[in-house]
């Protein structure tokens, strides 16, 4: 398999009128400890982003809050001017006041400010996919999504997505603007977003699981995935990604890392084709963990 075809082995998905390979890259881990400040190794972060694109990754997920602002700046430094097929998705709606601190802020004026500054940091005239990072209960959902819809009408946003929502919130948002993607916590050990995934699949919109790699005991050599991974000639993390890719055709995993030696096996998981028996065995071994 050539480098350019590696991520493409996962197949493609349409996000609005954009088509991307179904194995993407999440940029949160490129920042400092607590998703705060610059990376420990700036050069390696740039290498990771460039290597991801070399390996066929053409969907890169980021947010204004990663750093804050650091991840968007790294993406521009590494990849601008962007290849025609590279889709950059960013987010706004979380205020950062320190390491590991995330405060929802959906004031429409704040959302507008962050979209405007993301445009400058990324070096683009229009954001391919802008996602509301969280719905702030202090402001009407209609006002938050409505502000993004105004920015879309102004040509500053191409498509709108949501993050950490339920089916009812998705339905409410769709009354305000077309929604092309949802992004929720979902992996082998955390499946509370199953109803949203089923709704996304029903509607044919992208479901982007954040934290797609099951951490902790699941990924250990002697954990539930250990023997299955050994039999398959893969790592537990690769099987976790392969399971997600087979779980639904609308799933777009975005595993993130700050090291090329972790990136490459993650992307190689796109080429792992699980049989129904293997998929069911992984599902059974990890259900309820």
- Catalytically annotated residues: 66
**Do the beta carbons of residue 283 and residue 222 sit within 8 Å?**
no
* HSE-CB for 123 with a 13 A CA cutoff: 11
Q: Which of 158, 132, 127 is nearest to 145 (CA)?
A: 132
Distance CA 55, CA 242 (A): 17
Q: Which residue has the tokens 């004026």?
A: 109
């Amino acid at each position: 398999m050539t480098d350019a075809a590696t991520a493409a082995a996962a197949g493609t998905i349409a996000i609005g009128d954009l088509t991307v390979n179904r194995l993407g890259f999440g940029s949160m881990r490129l920042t400092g400890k607590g998703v705060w400040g610059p990376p420990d190794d700036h050069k390696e972060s740039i290498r990771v982003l460039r290597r991801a694109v070399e390996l066929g990754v053409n969907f890169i997920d980021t947010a204004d809050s990663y750093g804050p602002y650091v991840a968007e700046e790294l993406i521009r430094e590494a990849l601008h001017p962007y290849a025609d097929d590279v889709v950059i998705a960013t987010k706004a709606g979380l205020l950062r006041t320190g390491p590991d601190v995330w405060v929802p802020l959906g004031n429409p004026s704040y959302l507008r400010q962050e979209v405007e500054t993301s445009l400058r940091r990324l070096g683009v005239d229009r954001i391919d996919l802008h996602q509301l990072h969280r719905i702030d209960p202090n402001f009407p959902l209609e006002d938050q999504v409505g502000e993004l819809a105004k920015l879309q009408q102004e040509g500053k946003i191409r498509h709108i997505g949501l993050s950490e929502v339920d089916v009812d919130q998705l339905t409410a948002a769709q009354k305000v603007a077309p929604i092309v993607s949802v992004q929720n916590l979902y992996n082998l050990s955390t499946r509370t977003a199953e109803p949203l995934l089923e709704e996304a699949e029903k509607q044919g919109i992208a479901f982007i699981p954040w934290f797609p790699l099951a951490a902790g005991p699941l990924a250990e050599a002697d954990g539930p995935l250990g023997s299955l991974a050994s039999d398959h000639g893969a790592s537990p993390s690769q099987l976790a990604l392969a399971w997600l890719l087979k779980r639904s055709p609308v799933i777009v995993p975005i595993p993130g890392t700050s090291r090329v030696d972790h990136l490459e096996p993650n992307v190689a998981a796109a080429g792992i084709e699980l049989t129904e028996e293997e998929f069911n065995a992984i599902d059974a071994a990890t259900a309820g963990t």
